[in-house]
Structure 1
Amino acid sequence: MSNTENRVITPLFDADANAQSIAATLNTQRQSFIDDGYPTLKTRIDRLDRLIDLLRVNKQRFSDALRADYRARSHFDSVVFDVLVPIESLKYLRKNTASWMKKESRGAKFPLNLLGADAHVFYQPLGVVGIVSPWNFPVQLTFSPLGNAISAGNRAMIKPSELTPETSALMAELIHNTFATEEIAVVNGGPDVASAFCGQAFDHLVFTGAPSVAKHVMRAAAENLVPLTLELGGKCPVIIGEGADLKAAVERTFTFKTMNAGQICLAPDYTYVKASQLEEFIQFARQFVESNFGTLNDNPDYGSVINARHRGRITSYIQEAHDRGYRVEALADDIGLAQPESHNKLAPTLVINPDSDAKIMCDEIFGPAMAVKTYDNIDSVCTEINAGERPLALYYFGSSKAEIQQIKLNTTSGGMVVNDIAAHVLQDTMPLGGVGHSGMGSYHGFDGFRQLSHAKAYYKQGLVSLTPYFKAPHTAKMLKLLEKVMG
């Protein structure tokens, strides 16, 4: 078991203590939001700049904290995906916030538009946004929605994961030293603190994590009618279709399946491949692991599963598949199922053609195992995908325009990527969000700004008002006129 699993982090300030102190911090932020009035562009840019500087200056500290939490985690992955990617997103917000703050003309009805009427929408900050962030990319998945909240002019309270206590404590320290509590506050603690946090009367709550936990978050938020953004996960399928470069498809798929040991909400979960290509697929996958990692046990580029409990969960899927007689292919030999002492590492492992009731096909794997299913025609693939919960992302490799169009129109997923894996997450111009079981709402760029704002309708009457036409006493003549104009 990881030496961080049972550790209790001493909070930096009293906001972590209980529901009452969390509520007190929330009230402090809300009152400050009201007292300060509408946040100017200058205020928002200043806060975004401080977030960017916080990440830039402390990238080594974040990498060290993540390695301590995981016991084994790639320095490259930590710096690129937990520091540089959120910096890029924050820079995009800084560049575009001014234009997003401008009013959107909606055009008053004719002929009122010719008589001076003004109809527009402007995006007003909600107030205080609560953010519950996960353990797999704890910095990126805190700072991404946080940047949207700040760009939109809100205050924010953050509850990081207790499964990455060193990283959560570091975020609390750095944010506490960079921002006033009235601007951004961090609340650390275990599940009881998370429960108390989610039960607060935030103006919006953003949760990133597992669908099973999201159900509890929704119940807690419902008590105060708090609107939600849920960034969940699910079983993201890969389809290797007509005209695919099989070797490139395998390399791109397993780059993300081995990154952070597959603990990514957008990681490929199961793959469809033509029966005639199965053996070549397995061979390319094995070659990828060998050529990019060699041995895994002592390789700093291959990370560990977050803790022994999660490793045991993943190995149970593999063991069940073995016990049921499915073909199991470990892609490396030096970390087997019975070696949890190896920093909780686990070799990438394939399970071939499991039935739909196998555990590996029922649960989101969130680790370095993958089911591989063979197929004969694309219709059956779409049918199987549609029979399950809607995934956060779907990936297609191939050059068939007909297959791409069929999958695009006839399957539902949070996002779809052709000839790559998770590439859409790097596009700040696009929303990141799920659908159905994989979530609701989105963040990133303008979509996140809009999600964490209130689109306020504003109408100013011009020279003529329609109200006199509606007042009593109502006459047949007036009704006939309105029927002619409006009917």
Structure 2
Amino acid sequence: MDLRAPFDRLKQAHLNGAFTYEQRIELLTRLDAAVRRCREDLVAACNADFGRRARIETLGADVMVTLDEIKYARKHLRRWMRPQRRSVNLTFRPARGEIRFVPLGVVGVVAPWNYPFQLALIPLVNAIAAGNRVMIKPSEFTPTVSALVEKLVAEVFSQDEVAVVQGDAAVGAAFTQLPFDHLIFTGSTAVGRQVMAAAAANLTPVTLELGGKSPALVAPGYPVAKAAERIAFGKCFNAGQTCVAPDYVLLPETELEPFIAAFAASVKRRYPDMANDPDYTAVVNERQAGRLRAWLDEAKSAGVRTVACGPEAMEADGVRCLPPTLLVNPPAELAVMRQEIFGPLLPLVTYDNYDQAVAYILERDKPLAFYPFDDQPARVDAVLGRVCAGSVCVNDVLVQFGQDDLPIGGVGASGMGHYHGHDGFLTFSKAMPVMYQSRLNGMALFDAPYGKIIHRLVDFLTRP
């Protein structure tokens, strides 16, 4: 595939003139209308790609979140674009300074398969709000949704505004080698390293939205049934195929059995007939389902106690449904404890004292999300001062991702950079400092040959 031709077309269009405020608002308005028109088509496309995808999850996590992002950008864009006054040093006055927010140029977006619509379109919204042209590479693992994204983009944008390219991993690798002005990738940590290496050849700045093992920490004394209820929600939503899903739970040893019972009851309440319930999403493809089954088999072979919260055999008619399954204290060397799970498996790790649990988190890579469940504000404040994570939600899970005014972004192995809302606008802009020299300019004093006045002035300003 010739990727250079659409890239060069976008680049030249940007060089011919960046989007004005009015043009950005018009493009976002048209995108909003197109997203609303295609919502049922998206529901059908997600069902086709996943085998079974809960309608509410598609409308909520893919459509509603995207529409909220567009609405927020349109509401605040004029203020975001306004130059910010900055002071200049006393010795340079009456000059004045400001920061102008300038579009970078052409932004590349590599989208994943788990939320294939919103993770392609939210970076697009942020980049358009910042005045950029955009080139999108959707996931090859959700081909029906990817085709819908391409169709929607063609309806809203011209070819010199936004381009979509389709293809496999080889196309994706070539895509990341283009000399973008900024590149955002959402996916695994392993592929994120490859993306960063490819971008480095062009000194392309990158935003990496990766994953990792996001812990939930249940503090002593916190109502375990409340924690189990919310953690079950996070692990069942999209069948756990969410980058900020709770990946494992740390809980007091004495609360293990009550947590298991409460978690199983919560799952049963949500999905009384899980095998036939259209609200329980399937695993996206056989490759991912096979990986999860292999990890579960490895744990069972190692003697790990497992608790399946639903029928273990639910796969029929191409629908790959795995029940939420708890794994009790799996050894650290197992794959389920070394790699991001990205599915409905949930390890439970018990602890004897709270400091031991916090140390367990600190000894590992910085997570994309951290979920402390605690009703003691002082202890919450203390742990937030120690644990560094991409985002935090206290006493709940997932919902921090949908907040317009909170950025999303990882740390280290879980990613780098931020987007969403104003932070997305800033990511895809150059905050360009500008100094306006006054007609009353005293800088001539600093021209050689240096006279007595400048010597005295510099001596005065630098005196001990």
Q: What's 2:300 paired with? A: 322
Cα-Cα RMSD: 1.5
Q: 1:484 aligns with which of 450, 460, 463?
A: 460
Q: Cα 1:342–1:32, aligned 2, differ >3 Å: closer, same or farther?
A: closer
Q: Deviations over 1:158-217 (max 9, x none)?
A: 000000000001111121122101011110111111111111011110101111111111
Deviation at 1:312, TM superposition (A): 1.2
Q: What's 1:385 paired with? A: 361
Distance 2:177 2:409 in 1: 23
Matched, 1:446 2:422: yes
What SS does the aligned partner of 1:229 have?
strand
Q: Deviations over 1:360-383 (max 9, x none)?
A: 110000000011011122211121
Q: What's 2:433 paired with? A: 457
Matched, 1:26 2:7: yes
Q: For the Cα contact (< 8 Å) 1:112–1:462, is it kept in 2?
A: no
Q: What does 1:301-450 correspond to in 2, within 5 Å?
A: 301-335=279-313, 339=315, 343-450=319-426
Q: What's 1:137 paired with? A: 115
Q: What does 1:62-101 correspond to in 2, within 5 Å?
A: 62-101=42-81
Amino acid at match of 1:357: E
Amino acid at match of 1:364: E
Q: What is the TM-score normalised by the length of structure 1?
A: 0.92
Q: What does 1:244-255 correspond to in 2, within 5 Å?
A: 244-255=222-233
Distance 2:337 2:456 in 1: 64
Matched, 1:196 2:174: yes
Q: For the Cα contact (< 8 Å) 1:297–1:334, is it kept in 2?
A: no
What SS does the aligned partner of 2:3 have?
helix
Q: For the Cα contact (< 8 Å) 2:230–2:396, is it kept in 1?
A: yes
Deviation at 1:334, TM superposition (A): 4.7
Deviation at 1:426, TM superposition (A): 1.6
Amino acid at match of 1:63: V
Structure 1 residue ranges (4+ consecutive) displaced by more than 4 angstroms after TM superposition:
339-342
Q: Deviations over 1:249-284 (max 9, x none)?
A: 111111111111100000000001111111000000
Deviation at 1:333, TM superposition (A): 2.6
Count of residues in correspondence between the two structures? 463
Distance 2:462 2:235 in 1: 59
Amino acid at match of 1:228: V
Q: Cα 1:335–1:484, aligned 2, differ >3 Å: closer, same or farther?
A: farther
Q: What's 1:107 paired with? A: 87
Matched, 1:280 2:258: yes
Distance 2:250 2:317 in 1: 33
Deviates more, 1:398-407 or 1:310-319: 398-407
Identity of aligned residues (%): 38
Deviation at 1:464, TM superposition (A): 3.4
Q: What is the TM-score normalised by the length of structure 2?
A: 0.97
Deviation at 1:300, TM superposition (A): 0.4
Q: For the Cα contact (< 8 Å) 1:256–1:267, is it kept in 2?
A: yes
Distance 1:76 1:416 in 2: 24
Q: What's 1:6 paired with? A: none
Distance 1:251 1:75 in 2: 21
Amino acid at match of 1:467: M
Q: Deviations over 1:426-456 (max 9, x none)?
A: 2111111001111111111111100000011
Distance 1:91 1:192 in 2: 35
What SS does the aligned partner of 1:433 have?
coil
What SS does the aligned partner of 2:247 have?
strand
What SS does the aligned partner of 1:235 have?
coil
Q: What's 1:10 paired with? A: none
Amino acid at match of 1:322: K
Unmatched runs of 5 consecutive residues or more in structure 2 = none
Q: Cα 1:70–1:404, aligned 2, differ >3 Å: closer, same or farther?
A: same
Q: Cα 1:213–1:313, aligned 2, differ >3 Å: closer, same or farther?
A: same
Distance 1:264 1:483 in 2: 61
Amino acid at match of 2:214: C
Q: Deviations over 1:437-479 (max 9, x none)?
A: 1111111111110000001111011243343232222457634
Amino acid at match of 1:377: N
Unmatched runs of 5 consecutive residues or more in structure 1 = 1-17
Amino acid at match of 2:11: R
Deviation at 1:417, TM superposition (A): 1.1
Q: What does 1:24-63 correspond to in 2, within 5 Å?
A: 24-35=5-16, 37-63=17-43
Amino acid at match of 1:382: V
Distance 2:456 2:245 in 1: 62
